[in-house]
A and B are shown apart, each in its own frame.
Chain A
């Protein structure tokens, strides 16, 4: 009898287990791929040259197995202002509050201040430049982490590439399936970073329903950190799971050690869905920055990118000086189950074993 974990996603990718690791760390990606899973490397912040180098590095280590690259395609863009214009828009009240937090928690200045003059341009032009590398390299899977990839489907398919789309609403899934997207990632509110406002248990079956009869596999995302989550996702009709937080604390992960320790200690309630880091609502682990901006004394959170300009020195200072008490990172609600620093291969193996146990229990 076929393994209950063998889904159409496994056939579509030629992989053993329907577990996708989303990571910004090449070592994690390689370890998961070589252990029988699949990995998508997040490259949103990288230049085309860096992306090309990363692709080469991965290819040299996975022996022809498939892998994916994720970019954050924008889906709405306001008229840009210059960085100097943006800096002038930060009110004194918020500047004073930032300084007050720095004094209260003795937040060190970063060793090198974030160069915000390199910010901006994270728009269509940048995305297109990044995409050209993905096309040139014929990356087996391109995953769009935000905006619709419909516009690039024809070219990608001509090159033999798969295109995956991450959605936070059923209507986005329906639209992308109709456009010809190869795989849909249904991301619930439990996830790290930017999410929709629908929980994983609610969005996954709706997207599965939207994909029914189309042959488009659906991957469940948001709060997935155990084999029980994997089994539940398959029971909901998904063909696999998309996991992110799970790999942050793996041995191979390049996340710095105090931050790994912070993540290993974190509980579900420590993941805050707040706009205080960037002005956009996103799920990150709680830190003094959250506490202060959520207090009654806090001024209004600024719009993007002004709030990120305010928080960037705090975040960089905490990383540069290994201040675990100040650190924050995007993490999903499933972080409760991330309690040990293990090799990626073992993390994958543990998930698979636990999921198989679940299916054994039900079949018995």
Chain B
């Protein structure tokens, strides 16, 4: 079960997916580097909080990964938003988060 709340003046719809809360996951992350046409890769390990954001019409789902036990040097944040398809459950890295949700 999930809930979705549309946020006014926001480019995404936020929601909460209890089935993935506290799931340990790795994120093969990264993003464009500001001011350049390059990108940087970053890897994280932590536990999903259950919060998600859906962007665009597809939708493009992102989960919040918190309680980070692995993050790049100098990464000062305690949590990071991760593209759902770039998340790998530690207990079953062959499955996507969405596949795990469907079997809960």
The answer on A and B forming one complex is: yes
Residues of A within 8 A of B (CB): 24, 42, 44-45, 72-79, 114, 116, 119-120, 122-125, 128, 131, 145-148, 150-152, 154-155, 168-169, 171-172, 174-176, 179, 193-196, 275, 278-282, 300-305, 308-309, 312, 330
Counting residue pairs across A and B whose Cβ atoms lie within 8 Å, the total is 169
Would A279 and B30 count as touching, CB distance under 8 A?
A: no
List residues of chain A with CB within 8 A of the CB of B33: 278, 280, 282, 304-305, 308
Name 12 A/B residue pairs within 8 A (Cβ), A-sorted: A44-B38, A75-B27, A75-B85, A76-B80, A146-B39, A147-B30, A151-B58, A151-B60, A194-B30, A301-B73, A303-B74, A303-B75
With contacts A152-B58, A303-B72, A303-B74 taken as known, whether A280 is within 8 angstroms of B42 at the C-beta atoms is: yes
With contacts A76-B81, A278-B36 taken as known, whether A302 is within 8 angstroms of B58 at the C-beta atoms is: no
In the docked arrangement, what's the CA distance between A362 and B73, Å? 48
In the docked arrangement, what's the CA distance between A279 and B36, Å? 13
Would B83 and A74 count as touching, CB distance under 8 A?
A: yes
Would A76 and B86 count as touching, CB distance under 8 A?
A: yes
Q: Which chain B residues numbered 43 to 100 have a C-beta less than 8 Å away from chain A?
A: 44, 53, 55-62, 65, 72-77, 79-86, 88, 93-94, 96
With contacts A150-B85, A300-B74, A303-B72 taken as known, whether A76 is within 8 angstroms of B37 at the C-beta atoms is: no
With contacts A124-B62, A152-B58, A281-B41 taken as known, whether A304 is within 8 angstroms of B93 at the C-beta atoms is: no
Q: Shortest distance in angstroms between B17's beta carbon and chain A's nearest beta carbon?
A: 16
Q: Which of A76, A145, A171, A275 has the most CB of B within 10 A?
A: A76
Would A151 and B12 count as touching, CB distance under 8 A?
A: no
Report how many residues on chain B are interfacial, defined by Cβ distance under 8 Å.
47
Per-residue A-contact encoding for B8-40, CB less than 8 Å = 1, 0 else: 000110000000000000011111111111111
Would B83 and A147 count as touching, CB distance under 8 A?
A: yes
In the docked arrangement, what's the CA distance between A97 and B88, Å? 39
List residues of chain A with CB within 8 A of the CB of B72: 280, 303
In the docked arrangement, what's the CA distance between A309 and B81, Å? 23
Would B85 and A120 count as touching, CB distance under 8 A?
A: no
Instruction: Name the contact of A79 in the complex, choosing from B28, B41, B44, B77 (C-beta under 8 A).
Output: B77
With contacts A171-B88, A175-B96 taken as known, whether A154 is within 8 angstroms of B29 at the C-beta atoms is: no
In the docked arrangement, what's the CA distance between A42 and B53, Å? 27
Q: Shortest distance in angstroms between A111's beta carbon and chain B's nearest beta carbon?
A: 16
Instruction: Name the contact of B35 in the complex, choosing from A128, A145, A151, A308 (C-beta under 8 A).
Output: A308
Instruction: Name the contact of B34 in the complex, choosing from A75, A122, A176 (C-beta under 8 A).
Output: A122
Residues of B within 8 A of A (CB): 11-12, 27-42, 44, 53, 55-62, 65, 72-77, 79-86, 88, 93-94, 96
Closest Cβ neighbor of B40 among chain A residues: A280
Closest Cβ neighbor of B61 among chain A residues: A151
Q: Determine the main DSSP class of A at the interface with B.
A: loop
Would B44 and A76 count as touching, CB distance under 8 A?
A: yes
List residues of chain B with CB within 8 A of the CB of A147: 30, 83, 85-86
Would B38 and A75 count as touching, CB distance under 8 A?
A: no
List residues of chain B with CB within 8 A of the CB of A280: 30, 33, 38-42, 72
- Of all A-B residue pairs in the complex, the 8 with the closest CB atoms, nearest first, are A280-B40, A76-B29, A303-B74, A148-B85, A74-B31, A75-B86, A119-B34, A122-B32
Q: Shortest distance in angstroms between B44's beta carbon and chain A's nearest beta carbon?
A: 6
List residues of chain A with CB within 8 A of the CB of B81: 76-79
Would B35 and A312 count as touching, CB distance under 8 A?
A: yes
Q: Shortest distance in angstroms between B72's beta carbon and chain A's nearest beta carbon?
A: 7
Instruction: Name the contact of B76 in the complex, choosing from A119, A303, A308 (C-beta under 8 A).
Output: A303
Would A171 and B11 count as touching, CB distance under 8 A?
A: no
In the docked arrangement, what's the CA distance between A300 and B60, Å? 36
